[in-house]
Amino acid sequence: MIRSGFYLKGLFSVRSVDSPAIALGCSFLAIGALLKNIGFNLQQSFFSTFFTYALPGQLVMAESFLVGASLVNIFIGVWLVNARLFPMAVSMFPLLKSKKQPKWKYYISCHFLAVSSWLIMKKDYRTINEDYRIDFWMGIGTATWSIAIVSTVLGFLISDYLSKDMMIGLAIVNPVYFFCMLLGSMKNVVIGTSVILGTILGPAFYLISPEWCILYGGVTAGVIAFFVGELND
């Protein structure tokens, strides 16, 4: 069912020195500590990352839970902040399509979709045989997801030993790592324009609509970058 060779290759791709494991681990360590501080127990913290596995969404959930928001409001808040996963899925899964592979693999493994795994897959997919890219992806996803779950549990357990300064220090690791990774992926004018415009328009739209700024900024920047690419062709 799953080609173990490709799966293991994906699984071990996070072992490299500059893999996202460090940034991912630091962020979910902080999430584990945060969840303990707002009243979650160990099981609940574990299940939060196990079933959600999306850092910004979990932050929104924690904040909404703290202020006693309704379930509908939590749903909308989380959906909005995690809506980026839709274009990420649409821009990655066509690269993994194969008639030899069953559909269930795609619908189960989409749970592994996150910035870290997406960037690794976009960087490495060309090196993998088309028919087995989904197995490679499942390996990457299992590795990054497991790191997130273990780090959440660890963060929960050591939260009493983490000072406020350490928590703040951990919180900057994730944006810095992924921003550098995004800058590193700027291999052509179109992707470069997408990243630069997105960086500017995301916070700019926050001044107009804090809840929708990521979507407004991202879509506007992406559409402009697409037409820049069309004009260059």
Partner 1 sequence: MTDLYSNIFLVIAVTSIATYLSRSLGVLFSERINMNSKIFRLFDCVAYSTLAALISKVVVFPAGDLVEASNLIRLIVVFVCVAVFFIAKRNLVYPTVLSAILLTVLIKIV
Name the one residue in this structure whose structure tokens are 């020195």.
17
Among 184, 208, 209, 211, the residue binding partner 1 under the rule CB under 8 A is 184
Among 4, 97, 146, 232, the residue binding partner 1 under the rule CB under 8 A is 97
Q: Please tell me the distance from the alpha carbon of residue 126 to that of residue 133, in angstroms, as a whole number.
A: 9
**8 vs 216, which CB is nearer to partner 1?**
216
Q: Please tell me the distance from the alpha carbon of residue 151 to that of residue 116, in angstroms, as a whole number.
A: 15
Query: Would you say 92 and 121 are in contact if contact means Cβ atoms under 8 Å apart?
Result: yes
Q: How far is the CB of 106 from partner 1 (least distance, A)?
A: 5
**4 vs 91, which CB is nearer to partner 1?**
91
Among 1, 67, 164, 231, the residue binding partner 1 under the rule CB under 8 A is 164
224: burial class by Cβ within 10 Å (0-12, 13-18, 19+)?
middle
Q: Would you call 100 helix, strand, or coil by DSSP?
A: coil
Q: Does 94 bind partner 1 (CB under 8 A)?
A: yes
Q: Please tell me the distance from the alpha carbon of residue 154 to that of residue 119, in angstroms, as a whole number.
A: 25
Q: How many CB atoms lie within 10 A of CB 108?
A: 12
Q: How far is the CB of 60 from partner 1 (least distance, A)?
A: 8
Q: Does 98 bind partner 1 (CB under 8 A)?
A: no
Q: Which amino acid, one-letter code, is at 163?
A: S
Name the one residue in this structure whose structure tokens are 């062709």.
233
CA 55 to chain centre: 7
Q: Does 221 bind partner 1 (CB under 8 A)?
A: yes
Q: Tell me which DSSP letter residue 19 carries.
A: S
Q: Does 93 bind partner 1 (CB under 8 A)?
A: yes
Binding to partner 1 (CB under 8 A) within 34-73 occurs at 34, 39-40, 44, 47-48, 51-54, 56-65, 71
Span of 5-13, 144-152, 153-161, 208-216 interacting with partner 1 by CB under 8 A: 208-216
Q: Residues in contact with partner 1, total (CB under 8 A)?
A: 107
The DSSP string of 154-202 is HHHHTGGG--HHHHHHHHHHHHHHHHHHHHHT--SHHHHHHHHHHHHHH
Q: How far is the CB of 39 from partner 1 (least distance, A)?
A: 7
Q: How far is the CB of 232 from partner 1 (least distance, A)?
A: 12
Q: How far is the CB of 109 from partner 1 (least distance, A)?
A: 9
Binding to partner 1 (CB under 8 A) within 102-161 occurs at 106-107, 110-111, 113, 115, 118
